[in-house]
Amino acid sequence: MHGALGAELALDPGVHEHVLDGPGALDELPLDRAVAFLCVPDAAHAQYARAFVERGVPTWVVKPLTGDGAESRALARLADER
């Protein structure tokens, strides 16, 4: 929220973009107040989404969630647990 509404609500989210070379690179980022917009090839959705969810990062994933129903259900359970 930038501009007038952000000023009125005293919010400055500080948007930072990062290009990662694999989900292990997440360990190098400060994620305590992060949210993630995940846009990677469909085959990598589960791997990256799981990495963010395991670190407690609210994550938005473009569809499909994964390419496999069982993998999608497992990822949804993990997110529910977190």
So what's the pLDDT on residue 1?
Answer: 45
5-64: per-residue pLDDT in tens? 777 777 766 777 777 788 888 888 888 888 888 888 888 889 999 999 999 999 999 888
Give tens-digit pLDDT for 43-54. 888 999 999 999
DSSP string, 3-55: HHHHHHTT----------SSGGGGGGS--TT--EEE-S-GGGHHHHHHHHHHT
pTM for the full predicted model: 0.73
What is the pLDDT, as a whole number, of residue 9? 74
The answer to whether 34 touches 57, Cβ cutoff 8 Å, is yes
Q: Which helix (H) or strand (E) holds 8?
A: helix 3-8
Alpha-carbon gap, residue 64 to 82, rounded angstroms: 21
CA 13 to CA 33: how far, in whole Å? Answer: 9
